[in-house]
């Protein structure tokens, strides 16, 4: 029993040693290709690691944006920005936001009904796909897009928050 395990570990060690030596030889013969792959994997690792969490939207970004807007007088704030942020805050308070993590980026989507809704008709309606989801329908449901540690729609909305229309 012990010799069989020892033999498998020896074979596994030999495989990893061969793979490592082959990789080092490939890096030495084609360093530009290796640098390209390392850059690609490093970039993908960074994008995945900085994919924002749903808590960062509701607790940090949305609250901070709302606070910035409320510090301004109603005459000085941008009405469109205020309406957008206020709508998102109301959806969050009513538990009508859904976080969809797509590994490289995240989506905050609007639910059709609140989580508190216990109606059978609403629950079944959410499960049925009687019509295909089009890009225009998806665009109306997407509240925000998060990637690289930022929430892009909210950030773009807040650019001119202190410029009245």
pLDDT of residue 60: 78
User: For residues 160 and 145, what is the distance between their CA atoms, to the nearest angstrom?
Assistant: 19
Beta strands (DSSP E) in the chain are 97-101, 106-110, 142-147, 150-151
pLDDT of residue 69: 84
pLDDT of residue 116: 59
| Whether the model pTM is above 0.85 | no
pLDDT of residue 24: 93
Residues of the chain scoring pLDDT < 70: 1, 113-135, 164-165
pLDDT of residue 16: 95
Note the Cα 24 to chain centre separation in Å. 35
User: For residues 31 and 44, what is the distance between their CA atoms, to the nearest angstrom?
Assistant: 20
Tell me the angle at which helices 79-93 and 62-71 cross, rounded to the nearest 10 degrees.
140
Per-residue CA distances from 117 to 28, 121, 128 (Å): 62, 10, 17
pLDDT of residue 93: 84
Q: What is the DSSP letter of 61?
A: I
Give the alpha-carbon dihedral of 154, 89, 100, 150, to 10 degrees. Answer: 30
pLDDT of residue 40: 96
């Amino acid at each position: 029993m012990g010799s069989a395990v020892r033999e498998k570990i020896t074979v596994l060690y030999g495989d990893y040693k061969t793979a490592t030596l082959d990789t080092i030889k490939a890096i030495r013969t084609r360093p530009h290709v290796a640098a390209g792959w390392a850059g690609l994997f490093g970039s993908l690792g960074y994008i995945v690691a900085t994919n924002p969490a749903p808590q960062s939207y509701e607790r940090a970004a949305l609250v901070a944006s709302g606070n910035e807007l409320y510090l301004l007088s109603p005459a000085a704030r941008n009405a469109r920005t205020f309406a957008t942020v206020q709508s998102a805050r109301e959806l969050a308070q009513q538990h009508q936001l859904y976080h969809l993590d797509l590994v490289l980026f995240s989506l905050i989507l609007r639910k059709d009904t609140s989580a508190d809704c216990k109606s059978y008709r609403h629950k079944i309606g959410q499960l049925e796909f009687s019509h295909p989801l089009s890009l225009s329908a998806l665009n109306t449901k997407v509240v925000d897009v998060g990637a690289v540690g930022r929430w892009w729609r909210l950030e773009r909305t807040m650019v001119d928050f202190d410029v009245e229309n």
